[in-house]
Amino acid sequence: MKKQLEDIGLVLSILLGVLLTYYLVRANIVSLTYGNIPLANLYLLSVPDPSSPFTSRSPEVVTSVVWDQRGYDTYFETSVLFLAIIGVLYAAGSSSLVEKGSLIATVIPRVITKLLFPVIIAVAISVALHGHLTPGGGFQGGSIFAVAPYMYLLIYGRSRLEGKGFRSNLLLFMRSLAVVLISLVGSIVLAIGFLTGVEAFLFQNQPKPPFSPIGFPAYIQLPWGGIFLFSGTLMILNVLEFTAVSTGFTLALIVIDSIAGGRE
């Protein structure tokens, strides 16, 4: 009965979201396109146009940007994912490292795992927190973070990882919370604009003077002098993305391990 109520609630909330979006767009309260934006026009006009020097000979602008205008970037994204999967398969597959059932791995991987665990987490948090200043960000930091619990899982088993607080339901809760907060941060400016009757956008960061006068603050003045630059939504969203990705990957790796028959 409770399960059915949950299902009905889920369907209703999705339906409500779709209808609300439809209403907001049709009533011209929010618009999905905004006037004449030069960069968008450049891509939309030149990518499909065979006579343009920037053409990709394709009507699909997003794919063209991903594989043509920024193809080199995409190549390395793909490589990173490929290497990550190879690493996980290698670690999970080498059953000589982790024998099922009995106490396993020699003292060397046990101690090195304990030593690297905090180092990986410190680096992951640094990468996530400085996403608006240096290469990296929430996704990259979260992916690095997931290596620490995964190593711990392979060497010490699931129950000791759970003893550290990496429990499935907590991870799932944190992940869901982070995703909800991301959508909340993305709609705050739009909501304020809607209430005060000014123009604003979904996922708006800084004010856009000719279009929208409101936005997030970019920095705070520190009491001991200097400023703390967090670039509006960028750092907030990076931290939330970091939470979502790190807990999500950790949860996925725990589930894969339990299906593949790893140690308790």
Q: From the CB of 225, what's the least distance to other proteins, in Å? A: 9
With binding defined as CB under 8 A, does residue 39 bind other proteins? Answer: no
The footprint of other proteins on this chain (CB under 8 A) covers a number of residues equal to 24
Subset of residues 204 to 233 that bind other proteins, contact rule: CB under 8 A? 222, 224, 226, 228
- Of 28 and 96, nearer to other proteins (C-beta) is 96
3-state secondary structure the chain: CHHHHHHHHHHHHHHHHHHHHHHHHHCCCCCCCCCCCHHHHHHHHHCCCCCCCCCCCCCCHHHHHHHHHCHHHHHHHHHHHHHHHHHHHHHHHCCCCCCCCCCCCCHHHHHHHHHHHHHHHHHHHHHHHCCCCCCCCHHHHHHHHHHHHHHHHHHHCHHHHHHCCCCHHHHHHHHHHHHHHHHHHHHHHHHHHHHHCCCCCCCCCCCECCCECCCCCCEEECCCCCEEECCCHHHHHHHHHHHHHHHHHHHHHHHHHHHCCCCC
With binding defined as CB under 8 A, does residue 110 bind other proteins? Answer: yes
With binding defined as CB under 8 A, does residue 97 bind other proteins? Answer: no
- Of 166 and 216, nearer to other proteins (C-beta) is 166
Q: From the CB of 149, what's the least distance to other proteins, in Å? A: 10
With binding defined as CB under 8 A, does residue 43 bind other proteins? Answer: no
- Of 7 and 99, nearer to other proteins (C-beta) is 99
Binding site for other proteins (CB under 8 A): 106-108, 110-112, 114-115, 117-119, 121-123, 125-126, 129-130, 164-165, 222, 224, 226, 228
